[in-house]
Structure 1
Amino acid sequence: MKKYNIHILLSALFLSTTLSGCKKFLEHQPDNRTTLNTPEKVAELLVAAYPRASYITFIEAMSDNVEDKGTTEINLVNSRPWNYEDQLDIIEDTPNFYWNACYTAIAAANHALETIEKASNPAAYSASKGEALVARAYSHFMLVSLFSKTYNKATAESDPGIPYVTTPERTPEGTYERKTVAYVYDMIEKDLLAGLPLIKDNTYRIPKFHFTKVAANAFATRFYLFKKDYPNVVKFANDAFPTSGISTYLRPANTTYFAFGNNFYDIQALYTKSEDPGNLLLAEANSKWGDRYPGYRYGLGNTLNGQVLGSLNPVGAELYRVVFGAQPEFYNVPKFRAYEIKESISAVTGKPFMVIPLLSTEEVLFNRAEANVMLGQFPAAIADLNVYLSKRIASYNPIQHNFTLAKATTFYAGKSATDALIESILDYKRQEYIHEGLRWFDILRHNRPVTHTSFKGDKRVTYAANDPRRVLQIPRETGSVGLAPNPR
């Protein structure tokens, strides 16, 4: 196996963004390395252990959840991923920006863990240690999922991974090894399993912006689904909701949301609020997506609105979804409220931000259902889908709208029972997470090709499952110091 040794310029990629990422903390504690001496200060630092950037803009544009709407305005953060072109800029909503944000979050977690390790009373820091470990695992998982090949047991020992950083830096330049996807997955699993039991929900002021027990278990279901470790997907999904079951934690789409009618702002506001039971982990992201996604040229248009959101499914009933936009060029499902954060009182404008759901109950349900299908536990998977539909179909009738294997195989004619159930899950999930980017992860896991067609229909490009451009290019700054770029 060839090793990829790198000397990452941390001042450019990690430390400079760490200082800005921890800005609120540092305004009160200028030298966090010497003043992180209490459990409270470590807990405060961990607010910065979550990436303050969004992946949605570029992976949604790469997926089959977007179409060419034919508008004249071209925005490079939208058009380049649609065309599978590498993005070189380090601005909001680009892969490079997200890369930096993840390593900024990792740096914060590592500083916290170092403090805990050196503390004379480590037991007092136990909950923060758990959060730091799981947060570190999450950021590395997102990086390896986007900037390396998707986990494949047959090739993971040789596929280049991403640097797994476990120590804070003391110099402006550090030495790292890219190693392999298998190594990165082993490290993620180690951090995840070590951190999860230590998490204590009652230590958080606003729990849904931190890794609670349920959020950590939800992340575990995603991780093990990528790894195709289906028994563990089921285990951690069950651990996420051990007592009352999953139903009460789903978004109340056909009740609360339905009652909003066509009130755009009420629907938009609730989707990323802590009060929505479906939100398990929320994060603030420096992103323009919340304000601009309805107007991007490559997005939800007339064709996909009918094919994805307006189409029937095995039970013959549309799922609740309100699509806004006076014209197809601006179709959108309200999910994100954009706002600005000004860096000073006198500032005229600020940086664009939004809150995004990093993990939600619906994903846990779909992950468990898919795992159960792969384990041959069809009744369990079907039961989960019926729970989901009970929250999504207006005027739901458990007899009329009962999802069955027979309905699935009839709807997906010619497919096996397993494939029909998987297609059902993926299609429901595709509708659920429109505008959120998660469709891309299913495309990667299932090796699905993506076809993008121009508005006039004169250009049609299919990006095959083995197209190297599906693996995002690492920042070019790392190439100047020895990090091998991904193949093109």
Structure 2
Amino acid sequence: MKKKNIYNIISLSLLTLLLGSCKKYFDVNPDMRTELDTPEKVGELLVTAYPSADYFLFAELASDNSVDKGPGDFSLNDIARDSYLWKEVAQVSDSYSPNSYWLDMYRAIAAANHAIEAVDENNFGTKGQQYKGEALLTRAYAHHMLVSLFSKSYQINGDNSTPGIPYLTVPENTAFKNYERGTVASVYEHIEKDLLEGIRLIKGITYKSPKFHFNEQAANAFAARFYLFKGEYDKVIKYASAIFPENNFKQNLRPIAGALKAAGSNSPSLFASSQQNFNLLLANVYSNFSSIAASCRYGAGLATEKIISGNTVAGKQFYQYYTRFGGIPDKLQLGKYPTYTYRANPYTTDWTYYTIQCLFSADEALMNRAEAYINTGDYASALKDLNDFAQVRIEGYDAMLHTITEAKVLSFYNTTDIKAGLMSTVMDFKQKAFAHEGIRWLDISRLGIEISHRQLNSNWDTTYEVLKKDDLRRVFQIPASAALSGLPKNPR
């Protein structure tokens, strides 16, 4: 059995495909210089197979959840500006840049591959196979996020021969190796294979901190999202429904207008709590996203507030908890994730920011199922899911006043097409409910939603730029370091 230490586990990330530096991500990793000769050590390694970088900033700024707040008392952030303007984002090392996210996900993939190899080379029994299942799921998740952000979206019943991202399935033991991007279709085939085998293998798995690992609920939520992207709607319904087999989704949704509202300034800690059923998979990530998006010129402002607090087809807006950075109206800060800090060195004034982010929630899974029901023509079931979702988010909910019906949908969206109206309802609910969670950009990308960004000059003159359905800027550019290693860049 070869010795696997943390340095050769990340050799891929540092020496081959990535050619970058993300040392700070490994400062808190467990010391894996001993042999992976027990399933427990494999489990320890898999702690590092989850994201520690943040895609929220560049994804949210590229979406229509953000706005140019104009010249004034705002800070500037290159990542926020470039993402908002749909330019190639500066190749900086901040943990919330596309470059760092790419690096971090391949680091996670490398850890997963070493874990899989260790299990395959040893007889670790049932526990070893369960950890292999977890490793397969983390590998599939990392690749799915990468292909969703750095490649053209999967085209349901369409052409998926466009460039994907390298799908890595074996540990890297050479310093340099040629990689191929493959196609979006081939990447999806690999993801599906890993996903299905991972779900099969983790049956009965237990963890000390289950919400920070691919437990069975999280695996089913991932499958529901994956098959939504593929357009296999019966499978979306199957896997989403398996999260809560008693079909008691409503009792396990975020109590936005209930307990979370009552928590007030403590709501971020409750929102990201590992003790809450609505959180299916959590991750510790380096991020100060909420403050950056609020304080920067490009980010969350009054225009964002109008979107998330606007009226809904239910006849009343969703309750939203937010504050204003420095008390300034156009510096909107959504109270979702707690912010923590630490100093690695007591003699420095540099603080490291981190938070707990939710990668999969019961709320998203329910909306994915509602969309699947719509696409299978089961409008009654879709309405049931939408009403359950609205009930926990509307303050003072009254079924007599706020129940969503087909007639209300047709009237609110001024359409005679109930399918189109229900899809608009799902997209509207998701944008309002999941603002600052990175989900809106994934929907914009996969559905080809056209959005516009306003731009203000020094005289406050306003122009608008539209991101059309076929705009090549919908795909984030792969890092320059990866391109230098031979990977072809995304066309512009």
Asked if 1:429 is matched to 2:433, the reply is no
Which residue identity does 1:68 align to in structure 2?
D
Match of 2:167 among 164, 167, 181: 164
1:12 Cα offset (Å): 5.9
2:66 is aligned to: 66
How far, CA to CA, are the matches of 2:292 and 2:160 in structure 1? Answer: 40
1:269 is aligned to: 269
How far, CA to CA, are the matches of 2:218 and 2:13 in structure 1? Answer: 33
Which runs of no fewer than 5 residues in structure 1 stay unpaired?
1-7
1:449 is aligned to: 450
How far, CA to CA, are the matches of 1:414 and 1:437 in structure 2? Answer: 29
- 1:11-90 matches, within 5 Å, as 11=15, 21=25, 23-27=27-31, 29=32, 31=33, 35-70=35-70, 71=72, 72-87=74-89, 88-90=91-93
How far, CA to CA, are the matches of 1:303 and 1:163 in structure 2? Answer: 38
Structure 1 vs Structure 2: percent identity of aligned residues?
38
2:225 is aligned to: 222
2:395 is aligned to: 394
How far, CA to CA, are the matches of 1:271 and 1:296 in structure 2? Answer: 24
- 1:85-484 matches, within 5 Å, as 85-87=87-89, 88-153=91-156, 155-200=158-203, 203-243=206-246, 245-260=248-263, 263-264=264-265, 266-306=266-306, 308-325=307-324, 326-344=327-345, 348-455=349-456, 456-484=460-488
SS in 2 for 1:329: coil
Which runs of no fewer than 5 residues in structure 2 stay unpaired?
1-11
Which residue identity does 1:320 align to in structure 2?
Y
1:486 is aligned to: 490
Q: Structure 1 residues 462 and 442 mapped into 2: Cα distance closer, same or farther (>3 Å)? A: same
SS in 2 for 1:332: strand
Q: Is the 8 A contact 1:112 1:132 kept in 2?
A: yes
Between 66-75 and 281-290, the greater mean CA deviation after superposition: 66-75
1:346 Cα offset (Å): 5.4
How far, CA to CA, are the matches of 2:107 and 2:364 in structure 1? Answer: 26
Which residue identity does 1:56 align to in structure 2?
F
SS in 1 for 2:335: coil
Q: Structure 1 residues 230 and 457 mapped into 2: Cα distance closer, same or farther (>3 Å)? A: farther
Q: How much is the aligned-residue C-alpha RMSD, in angstroms?
A: 2.1
Which residue identity does 1:78 align to in structure 2?
A
Q: Is the 8 A contact 1:341 1:351 kept in 2?
A: yes
Which residue identity does 1:46 align to in structure 2?
L
SS in 2 for 1:176: coil
Which residue identity does 1:365 align to in structure 2?
L
Q: Is the 8 A contact 1:147 1:473 kept in 2?
A: yes
Q: What is the total number of aligned residue pairs between the two structures? A: 474
Which residue identity does 1:466 align to in structure 2?
D
Q: Structure 1 residues 271 and 17 mapped into 2: Cα distance closer, same or farther (>3 Å)? A: farther
1:4 is aligned to: none
Q: Is the 8 A contact 2:17 2:179 kept in 1?
A: no
SS in 1 for 2:462: coil
**1:53-93 CA distance string (max 9 Å, x none):** 11100010111111111234321111010011112223221
**1:303-339 CA distance string (max 9 Å, x none):** 3312x12221112112111232133221222012222
Q: Is the 8 A contact 1:42 1:128 kept in 2?
A: yes
1:26 Cα offset (Å): 4.2
How far, CA to CA, are the matches of 1:312 and 1:328 in structure 2? Answer: 20
1:15 Cα offset (Å): 9.0
Q: Is the 8 A contact 1:272 1:279 kept in 2?
A: yes
SS in 2 for 1:313: coil
Q: Is the 8 A contact 2:13 2:110 kept in 1?
A: no
How far, CA to CA, are the matches of 2:349 and 2:302 in structure 1? Answer: 37
1:394 Cα offset (Å): 1.4
Which residue identity does 1:116 align to in structure 2?
V
Between 312-321 and 140-149, the greater mean CA deviation after superposition: 312-321
1:3 is aligned to: none
1:21 Cα offset (Å): 4.4
Between 325-334 and 190-199, the greater mean CA deviation after superposition: 325-334
Q: Is the 8 A contact 1:78 1:298 kept in 2?
A: yes
Which residue identity does 2:253 align to in structure 1?
L
Q: Is the 8 A contact 1:338 1:352 kept in 2?
A: yes
1:126 Cα offset (Å): 1.6
SS in 2 for 1:357: strand
Q: Structure 1 residues 60 and 43 mapped into 2: Cα distance closer, same or farther (>3 Å)? A: same
TM-score using structure 1 length: 0.92
Q: Structure 1 residues 272 and 26 mapped into 2: Cα distance closer, same or farther (>3 Å)? A: closer
How far, CA to CA, are the matches of 1:457 and 1:276 in structure 2? Answer: 46
Q: Structure 1 residues 343 and 16 mapped into 2: Cα distance closer, same or farther (>3 Å)? A: farther
Q: Structure 1 residues 465 and 58 mapped into 2: Cα distance closer, same or farther (>3 Å)? A: same
SS in 2 for 1:191: helix
Which residue identity does 1:256 align to in structure 2?
A
Between 245-254 and 43-52, the greater mean CA deviation after superposition: 245-254
Q: Is the 8 A contact 1:9 1:173 kept in 2?
A: no
1:423 Cα offset (Å): 0.3
1:370 Cα offset (Å): 0.4
1:18 Cα offset (Å): 8.4
